[in-house]
Amino acid sequence: MPASKKTLRTQEAKKKEAAGIRVATNAGGVPKKPEKAKIQCQICKGEFIASMPTVLRDHASNRHVKNTFQECFQLAT
């Protein structure tokens, strides 16, 4: 009879831990997703997800009317 999914996952985790490449998991044993890259507004220091340009543009045009987009987010292109 084949091993259960939980057993296979546990065995794989033990192998990785022994090799020193442990993956962070949540309580259910599912690997955690990496955190998305963030960019900070230089004026109000608010953090936004860098891969969402519409949110960045809306923030710059609605919150900082007197400043340009480049002044708000110097690292964004």
Per-residue DSSP letter, 51: T
pLDDT at 58: 95
Q: End-to-end CA distance of the chain, in Å? A: 56
pLDDT at 22: 76
pLDDT at 18: 87
d(CA 37, CA 16): 26
pLDDT at 71: 92
Asked whether the CA dihedral 57, 63, 66, 70 is positive or negative, the reply is: negative
How do 47-49 and 38-40 pair as beta strands?
antiparallel
Q: For residue 25, what are the CA distances in angstroms to 4, 28, 32, 54?
A: 19, 8, 5, 32
Q: Mean pLDDT of residues grouped by 10 in the chain (77 residues)?
A: 84 86 78 88 93 93 93 78
pLDDT at 29: 73
Task: List the chain domain ranges.
Answer: 1-32, 35-77
